[in-house]
Amino acid sequence: MNIAHHLATTLKTLRQQREWSLSKLAEETGVSKAMLGQIERHESSPTIATLWKIATGLNVPFSLFITPPEGEETAYDPQQQAMVVTPVFPWDPVLHYDHFAITLAPGAVSESTPHEDGVIEHVVAINGTLDMCIDGQWQPVSEGEGLRFAGDKPHAYRNSTDRTVLFHSLIHYPQNKKEKAAG
């Protein structure tokens, strides 16, 4: 099963477990019903930002959508390398965190809507310098440095340099809210 197919199946399964219609899912996630239907039918690949909205609305870890059950190392790349997200470790149900390696192409910007309440995000620049926008303020995160911020507010990632930047993102979810996906 490839990653786009896994994503489509996971979304449909999670929606059906909740006995939600596509309209209800659209309401909960802020993503249009048309787009959600296309994703479920494997006709469209959501951007990272859209996928985050979906994960937040469903109250599940982001990594569920991009980690196939067989645990293959797979990168999710919906926009031809603009932003590529790869799990470093699978979702940790005990520690309640996701750990991703993310590359951002030169000039790329990715805006994130707030994750669910209580999410704390850590960004560590591994190779190159990343710019982060927190509370409306852009700031550089230099190679080897890290930044911790409240992920439940809007934030954005940007690469202002002329080479691809690699950073890690650790997402800590609140302990009491996270569900495990079945299937």
CB 14, min distance to Mn ion, A = 20
112 forms part of the interface with Mn ion (CB under 5 A): yes
Rg value, the chain, Cα: 16
What is the four-CA torsion angle of 83, 177, 174, 132, rounded to 10 degrees? 30
**Binding piece for Mn ion, criterion CB under 5 A, among 7-15, 27-35, 72-80, 112-120:** 112-120
Strand order in the sheet with 130-134: 109-112, 155-158, 130-134, 137-141
Q: In the 8-state DSSP scheme, what is residue 82?
A: S
**Binding piece for Mn ion, criterion CB under 5 A, among 19-27, 53-61, 63-71, 105-113:** 105-113
Which CB atom, from 105 or from 150, has the smaller least distance to Mn ion? Answer: 150
CB 23, min distance to Mn ion, A = 27
3-state secondary structure of 111: strand
Residue 10, token pair as written in the block: 């996971």
DSSP 28-43: HHSS-HHHHHHHHTTS
The number of residues that bind Mn ion (CB under 5 A) is 1
Helix (H) or strand (E) holding 2: none
**Binding piece for Mn ion, criterion CB under 5 A, among 74-82, 84-92, 110-118, 174-182:** 110-118
Task: Say if residues 106 and 159 touch (Cβ distance below 8 Å).
Answer: yes
**Binding piece for Mn ion, criterion CB under 5 A, among 17-25, 72-80, 109-117, 125-133:** 109-117
CB 46, min distance to Mn ion, A = 15
Which CB atom, from 103 or from 112, has the smaller least distance to Mn ion? Answer: 112
Residue nearest to Mn ion as judged by C-beta position: 112
Residue 53 CA from chain centroid, whole number: 8
CB 41, min distance to Mn ion, A = 27
56 forms part of the interface with Mn ion (CB under 5 A): no
CB 65, min distance to Mn ion, A = 14
Residues lying near Mn ion in the complex (CB under 5 A): 112
